[in-house]
Amino acid sequence: MATDAGPGRIPGRIPGRIPVPSPADRRVPELDPALVAEWRAGGGEPIDLFTLARERLGGIAALDLASGSAPAVLVTAPQAVQHVLAFRPDRYVKRSHRARLLIGDGVLAATGDAWQRQRRLLQSQFTGPGMRRYEGRITGAARIAAARWAGYARTGGVFDLGDEMRRFALDTIWRSLTGHPLDPATERELGAVAHVVAELPTLPADGGAARGAVAAELARIDAVASRAIEAARDGTAGPDGPGLLHVLLDAAGTHPEYTDRLVRDELVTLLVAGHETTATTLTWLHLLLDRNPWAREQALAAGPEGSPERRQAVQALVHETLRLYPSAWMLPRSAARDDVLCGYRIEAGTDVLVCPYLTHRDPGVWEDPGRFDPARFTEPGRRPAHPGSYLPFGMGPRACLGLRFALLESTVLLEHLLPARAPRLRSVPEGAAYSITVRPDGPTPATLG
């Protein structure tokens, strides 16, 4: 867990070290196979190997992840990150998505023309006018969460922080999708989403076997999606009015590719992307505030309730949490054609792993990167200028559609919860689990009494 300390700036900081390629050999430097073998024999986590490669070789490094296969290229240097994700997205493409068995052909997994059509449809829902439509729904979910916390404070009951953050985030996205508050039965059934997401790293490589391992959970998710789609198709709008699901069904009237299956896939994609990442970020944020209580006090002291100053301070808490635990901690790509990346030759077919998690923790990019310091995002000159230095939701054309939604959602909840009593953690997780998101690897029991 990060610790607290104060500001400061290192002059002349070089944003991410990139090894200088030899004029005679512009191959990406590869991590010593003996080190990879040692890591493999020790059963280490991939992030351990990635960290070692970055430390030994810099912001562009090759490593043999699967013995006998072509080395993958790890990219963490900001300028290389920007090249892959923003400047050359046509050369570094998504091949598949780890969660495809869950989200199907939803926008996160779609590629090519299908992806462009699907993203275009959803894009308008997450711009300024679209966001105003959902702010009231976010506030409604935040008030319900605040009322639950008031109950915990009265009774002194123990609750799990992670579970509470998931309840809030799931209620928010369900209201935004359907116009209805989340009811207890739907909440129970959608617990299957978190189960499948947690199981993804350990599922068999074979698609059929993987699907079979979580078949019961997928069936529960499909049943919820089917009921929601039928209710929306019947014209049943919730108390908050039509939601994103109605937008998808309206599209089906003019775009034949929006079959019931694709509508289901988009619905589940938005459910996963709209609550899993936000819930994880908010859980980490509370764990960080438990270690750094001064940060909560500073945010509340920044200005009165409802003031721009307090909102900016609260948003800085969110941004600093996202720096340490980005929603998109790993962005895998495949080189569709030969390319030159910051002077290094990348051959077609190479797996390229962009790792925002390590970019955000690179001491050549961020000052004292292991320290929790929200002032990086409020004090001028504290945040690195290069756009590839901070990308918690990715960057370029495939950056997360819901960036503004997630930031607003987190900010609104914290504005409701921070002025109340701070949670007291009875125990804290020892580390992190790396799946679709980086999440705490254990329960987070807490009290407010």
- The four Cα atoms 106, 107, 111, 115 give a dihedral, to 10 degrees, of 120
Q: What is the pLDDT of residues 372-431, one digit of tens each?
A: 999 999 999 999 999 999 999 999 999 998 899 999 999 999 999 999 889 999 999 989
CA distance 86 to 387: 10
Residue owning tokens 């699967």: 66
Q: Which residues pair with 353 in a beta bridge?
A: 74, 332
pLDDT at residue 6 greater than cutoff 50: no
Confidence of residue 19 (pLDDT cuts 50, 70, 90): low
pLDDT digits (tens, 9 = 90+) for 87-111: 999 999 988 767 889 999 999 888 8
Which pair of structure tokens corresponds to residue 42? 């020790």
Nearest-angstrom CA–CA distance, 114 and 117? 5
What is the amino acid identity at position 406? A
Question: What would the pLDDT profile of 281-305 be if each residue is shown by its tens digit?
Answer: 999 999 999 999 999 999 999 999 9
Rounded to 5, what percent of the chain is helix, strand, coil? 55, 10, 35
Question: Which stretch of DSSP H or E encloses residue 208?
Answer: helix 207-213
Check residue 11 and give its pLDDT: 33
Helix H or strand E segment including 325: none
Q: Is the dihedral of CA 96, 98, 104, 105 positive or negative?
A: negative
pTM: 0.91
pLDDT of residue 33: 92
Q: What is the DSSP letter of 388?
A: G
